[in-house]
Amino acid sequence: MNSYLLILPIFLPIALGALSKFIRFRTRRAREIFLMIPVCITSVLVWVLILNRPEGTFTLFKFTQNLAISLRLDDFGSFFAALIATLWPFASLYAFEYISPEKRQDAFLALYTMTYGVTLGVAFASSFLSMYFFYELLTIITVPLVMFTMTEEAKYAARKYMYFSLGGTAFAFIGLIFIIVYGSSDIFQLGGVLNPSDIGNARLLQIVYIFTFCGFGVKAAIFPVHSWLPEAAVAPTPVTALLHAVAVVKSGVFGIARITYFSFGAAFLRGTWAQYVALAIVLFTILYGSSVAVRERHFKRRLAWSTVANLSYILFGILLLSPAGLTSGMMHMLFHAFMKITLFYCAGAVLYQSGREYLSELDGLGRRMPVVFVCYTISALALTGIPPLSGFYSKFALGSAGVSDGGIWGAIGAGVLLISALLTAIYAIYPAIRAFFPQKSATLPSKDIRDPNAYMLIPILLTCMATVLFGVFSQGIYNALYPIASSIVGGGV
């Protein structure tokens, strides 16, 4: 296939999303159809491109001879693109219903659809500069979504998100400069682009790696640049599901993986203090995020803190710099996306149907919204790591990779994962317990409250089913990802 086709999945949702803002639709259904069609076509197109991968690179724009915005589809980009392409139609379907009572839903849905194209740009980016470009664009396009409700809380959250993200990309820019100076180019290559003869001061480059890691780590919500994520829970649930499950946070993780394996290179970083510092940061983040989640009483913010911890699970696997580590990190990236999006959908359904936001208000809601809370329970058990659900295998794989490949830090990581699993059990399962086993003294919710309609229920059920199926077929997924990870870690050798 021709590499020109790579621009289509990016351009289509951006163009039609923007266009939808200016068209006067007679009915809500007409707008939804207009937006759903490009989303579905884009998803199909992405899968076609993944299965019939175009050769070569498509250059969008050239700054200089060596610096350009260009697109290419490799194994790792395909993995991320497949994840986004699979989840976005569900997210859109859910968003249509959720945002329907709001004014300015035309603006919301337009930006929501455009975000799809931008995120695919991150996946398809063939160079550090290209990824940086789409990364900044992702920040700009998602800020209005965070502040959509225009409450003081939402505006504050959006400002914080923007300041953190832009600050993070400033750090990432430092990495870009050094990679261009010390590397053969900024194009992503298996094994990295650093010229061993040009490196000279390796310690300086390792410091730069840490800066870049922290830069992309803002979106990956590592400590101490994580606090924007729970604040952003104030945004409408389709946005938090996007931010916390699919697009933004996974872009941060994806960016860190790219710079680690495709820019700096695993061989350069393995066994260095830079790797250990990064590992220490993510292990602390796991414990910190899990601990704070236990304390948090707001339903969506609790899930947001859970995301802070789980993103660092993925980073732990990536930073082990081994095939098993990267494979388990990718597995958890995939499984966590589905688990977390289901959990957020359920929290959003509760908010939408009953207006309840806090854990103390969930008593007995399981009786009124049984489908939502059954799906919540299944996903919570999966997130905890209960077999045979998906989260068990990815966490087990992470722990095993840590013990076998990570030395002392890997072993510490395995212990941290066990502690975090206990904390996860507490914070994730507790809402389900309140919902299904209310205290005798609690007042049961009104019988008017019930499960949402098909627009919201179908995405919840499908993502929940996927959580179960991934668990059953986890070995097959591991076997499919392992060769990709081996090739990346081995530098293409």
Partner 1 sequence: MEFLVLFSVVAPLLLAFAVFFLGRNHTHRLNALTVSVCFLELAAAVVMFVVSCSGSFQKVALSDVCGFGLTFEAGGFRSLYVLVTAFSWFISAVFTTDYMKNGENRARYAFFLLLTLSGTVGVFLSADLYTTFVFFEIMSFASYPWVAHEETDEAQQAATTYLVIAVISGLTALGGGARWRCAGNSGTTGCSCKCTYFRGTQRNAAGRGNLPFHRIRRQSRLLPSAYLAPESTRRRTRTRFCTSLRYFNQGWSLWHSGTLLQRYGW
* Residues near partner 1, by CB under 8 A: 381, 384, 386-388, 392-393, 396, 399-400, 403-404, 414, 418, 421-422, 425-426, 429, 433, 436-441, 471-476, 478-479
Least distance (Å) between residue 472 CB and partner 1: 6
Smallest distance, partner 1 to C-beta of residue 469, A:
11
Of the pair 107, 433, the CB lying nearest partner 1 is at 433
Cβ(89)–Cβ(463) under 8 Å?
no
Two structure tokens written together for 305: 């803190």
User: Closer CB to partner 1, residue 314 or residue 417?
Assistant: 417
Query: What one-letter code names the amino acid at 369?
Result: M
Which has the closest alpha carbon to 150: 244, 243, 232, 235? 235
Least Å distance, CB 483 to partner 1, is 16
Cβ proximity to partner 1: between 117 and 471 the closer is 471
Q: To the nearest whole angstrom, how small is the minimum distance from the Cβ of residue 445 to partner 1?
A: 15
Which residues 6+ apart lie within 8 Å of 460 measured at CB?
A: 94, 342, 345, 346, 349, 371, 372, 375
With vertex at residue 347, the alpha carbon angle to CA 343 and CA 349, rounded to the nearest 5 degrees, is: 115
- Name the amino acid, one letter, at 303: L
Q: How far apart are CA 393 and CA 103, in angstroms?
A: 43
Residue 403 beta carbon to partner 1: minimum distance, rounded to whole angstroms? 5
Strands (E), 408-491: none
- Work out the number of other CB atoms within 10 angstroms of the CB of residue 40: 14
- Contacts for 271-276: CB closer than 8 Å, 24+ residues apart: 272/202, 272/206, 273/206, 274/206, 274/207, 274/209, 274/210, 275/319, 275/321, 276/409
Instruction: Name residue 182's amino acid.
Output: Y
| Cα–Cα distance list, 418 to 245, 290, 398, 404 (Å) | 22, 11, 11, 16
Please report how close the Cβ of residue 25 comes to partner 1 at its closest, in angstroms. 39
Cβ proximity to partner 1, 277 vs 403, nearer residue: 403
Instruction: State the Cα–Cα distance between residues 257 and 219, nearest whole angstrom.
Output: 13
Q: Which is nearer to partner 1, 92 or 394 (CB)?
A: 394
The smaller minimum CB distance to partner 1, of residues 287 and 386, is found at 386
Q: Closest by alpha carbon to 274, among 221, 222, 204?
A: 204
Cα gap 43→291, rounded to integer Å: 37
Q: Which of helix, strand or coil describes residue 187?
A: strand
CB of 376 to partner 1, least distance (A): 15
CA 459 to chain CA centroid, Å, is 17
Between 217 and 323, whose beta carbon lies closer to partner 1?
A: 323
Residue among 71 and 417 whose Cβ is closer to partner 1: 417
Cβ atoms of 383 and 434 within 8 Å: the answer is: no
Contact by Cβ (8 Å): 296, 46: no
CB of 311 to partner 1, least distance (A): 21
Q: How many CB atoms lie within 10 A of CB 34?
A: 17
Q: How far is the CB of 363 from partner 1 (least distance, A)?
A: 11
To partner 1, the closest distance from the beta carbon of 303 in angstroms equals 19
Residue 155 CB coordination number (10 Å) = 14
- Contact status, residue 490 vs residue 77, Cβ threshold 8 Å: no
Q: Judged by CB, which is closer to partner 1: 57, or 474?
A: 474
Residue whose CB is less far from partner 1, 230 or 399 = 399
272 or 486: whose CB is closer to partner 1? 486
* Least CB distance to partner 1 at residue 230 (A): 24
